[in-house]
Structure 1
Amino acid sequence: MEELQARHRKEQRELQARITQKKKNATKKTRKGVNDECDKLQQELNQKQNLEISQLNGDDVSATADSLDHLDLNDEANQQSTTESAPPASDAVPKLDLPTGEPGNRGKKPNRQKARLARREAERVAQAEIAAEEAAKQTDHRGNEKEVMDAAFSRIGLKEIEITPDGHCLYSAIACQLNDLGLGLKPDPSRIVLQPATVSRIDTVASPRHDGYRAVRAVTADYIKEHQDDFVPFMEEPLDEYVKKIRLTAEWGGQLELQAIARAYGVEINVLQGDGRIEKIEGAGDDADLEQQKRQIWLAYYRHTYGLGEHYNALVQKAA
């Protein structure tokens, strides 16, 4: 009996392999015929093997026939169960909704794609949360600076005048306030170097709303050159190159330029820092009269608020 059962198992495996191959090669038009043929092959093998078992056991022929009739009634259910347990490449799953000629196992691709998209979205959300957490831990230099500045304006009674952040901001802010103080910009055309395209605008250098920064640059460059002993020790480049940059470029102004401006125009410059400190730069000498000592210019100096970097805005007293 064991030998017969082993042979039967081998025959069943071979038949299943044939059925699988037939169904894989079937098209939409031939699928029904192939399925019917496979069902018939399975029934025939089942009948043959049952007869062999009955003969080996010496069962009555009529009982065998009854047994076969019973098998015939359940063959369709047995075949369905067998087919469902076949490898994924088989055609056991209904194919009515699949495109023509597409194997049944390809229907899983959309699910894999959704899984990939979901995984990527989860990674993106996780990275965004990490970035937000890191940003929350960082110091808000821009917000803190603006908050301190606004509080200082209110305390001192100052109003801010926005200056264009173009590299000329220090000189433009000075020009604006010199004009308001009635001191003038001292625009000597012979001391102001203009490009050929702007020579026709020489008259506008007296106006702080236009090219006033050019006059302040010229006065600053001249004062530094005329008093070079006070400035050269603090320079990192030759004097001529340094003053040329002041005259002709948009090079930012710093501590040396503020000192030269204060002395050249005889004013006191108060620079409000982003941390609330006030830096005073005195330009009037000990022999200056009281009126000259009262000439004050206010600047707001920012390090973080503006995208281009360091920046100066003009400050004026609020109207009473």
Structure 2
Amino acid sequence: MMMELQRKHEDERYNFHVENERDITEVPEANESEPEISKQESETPKAKTEVQTNVPTPGKKRRNRQKERLAKREAEIARIKQEALQETTIDYGKIERDQIDMKLAKLQMKEHDVKPDGHCLFASILHQLQINDLVNETNDDIYKLRGLIGDHILANKDDFLPYLIDEGDDINSYVKSIKETAKWGGDVEIMAVCQLYDCQVCIMMSEQQDPIVFNDKGKNVINLVYFKHYYSLGEHYNSIYNDARD
């Protein structure tokens, strides 16, 4: 009886010892799984970060290439307009003046200025007639010269009518305005002077290498210079002459 009881105690002690050893050996297995969880937890934010980098940031705007092209085109148009504006502000008067001065210096000629008042052609011709001794004191007047030219045109109207088509073929009204007003003179009046005074009229121009000559067979020579831009009132004539006359 005592032996059975003792064996029973030993069996219970043995079972208890086995149970305890199993518990001790199983605990590390539970602990080994914990790093896996920690590893997964540590990797989760990284994965989330990688996913987020592929998502467009709300604050970052995409380039609008169409808008950029439009802005570039508008800038080009503005540049072209600016260049056109600069062209319109070119001082053609100064350019013309400089070119005339160079021509005069090369030919050793001087310029006699007359008023830009509508009589400039007649005043310039009158100055040339004076320095060439082709008029006397009684004819030394602009309106007298206008009268002589007008009368000559009217007396030889067949020679001048082809040049007066733009005047409506009313030669009488045309001659009246030449004789009595400050009407600007032109080619018709120059041709009349050539016939009246047997002269050739040479007109220097900035854009012409050589002067324009009316009646190159004339015995006397009248030298004029023509301006298109230099004078604010428009086209203008001045008399030019050789330095030797001073």
- Range into which the TM-score falls when normalised by the shorter chain: 0.5 to 0.7
- Bigger relative contact order, structure 1 or 2, given CA contacts below 8 A and separation 6+? 2
Tell me the amino acid that sits aligned with residue 137 of structure 1. Answer: E
Among residues 313, 317, 320, which one is paired with 2:238 in the alignment? 313
Q: Find the aligned partners of 1:271 and 1:246 in 2 and give their Cα distance.
A: 21
Q: Find the counterpart in structure 2 of residue 275 from structure 1.
A: 207
Tell me the amino acid that sits aligned with residue 146 of structure 2. Answer: R
Deviation at 1:306, TM superposition (A): 0.5
Q: Find the counterpart in structure 1 of residue 131 from structure 2.
A: 180
Q: Find the counterpart in structure 2 of residue 215 from structure 1.
A: 144
Q: Find the counterpart in structure 2 of residue 226 from structure 1.
A: 155
Q: Find the aligned partners of 2:134 and 2:217 in 1 and give their Cα distance.
A: 14
Deviation at 1:213, TM superposition (A): 1.2
**1:7-22 to 2 correspondence within 5 Å?**
none
2:231 counterpart of 1:302: no
Q: Which has the larger radius of gyration?
A: 2
Q: Find the aligned partners of 2:156 and 2:105 in 1 and give their Cα distance.
A: 38
Q: Find the aligned partners of 1:296 and 1:227 in 2 and give their Cα distance.
A: 22
- Contact 1:259 1:283 survives alignment (8 Å): no
CA-atom RMSD in angstroms: 2.4
Unaligned runs of 5+ in 2: 1-79
> TM (normalized to structure 1)?
0.47
SS of 2:244's equivalent in the other structure is coil
> TM (normalized to structure 2)?
0.60
- Contact 1:302 1:310 survives alignment (8 Å): yes
Q: Find the aligned partners of 1:309 and 1:282 in 2 and give their Cα distance.
A: 26
Deviates more, 1:132-141 or 1:161-170: 132-141
Aligned residues: 162
Q: Find the aligned partners of 1:244 and 1:274 in 2 and give their Cα distance.
A: 33
Unaligned runs of 5+ in 1: 1-129, 188-205, 286-292
Q: Residues 5-32 of structure 1: CA distance to partner in whole angstroms, max 9, x if unpaired?
A: xxxxxxxxxxxxxxxxxxxxxxxxxxxx
- Cα separation, partners in 2 of 1:227 and 1:284, compared to 1, 3 Å: farther
Deviation at 1:132, TM superposition (A): 8.4
Q: Residues 217-275 of structure 1: CA distance to partner in whole angstroms, max 9, x if unpaired?
A: 11110111111101112212301001001100000000111111111111111001121
Q: Find the counterpart in structure 2 of residue 248 from structure 1.
A: 180
Q: Find the aligned partners of 2:83 and 2:198 in 1 and give their Cα distance.
A: 51
Q: Find the aligned partners of 1:229 and 1:267 in 2 and give their Cα distance.
A: 21
Among residues 52, 63, 86, which one is paired with 1:136 in the alignment? 86
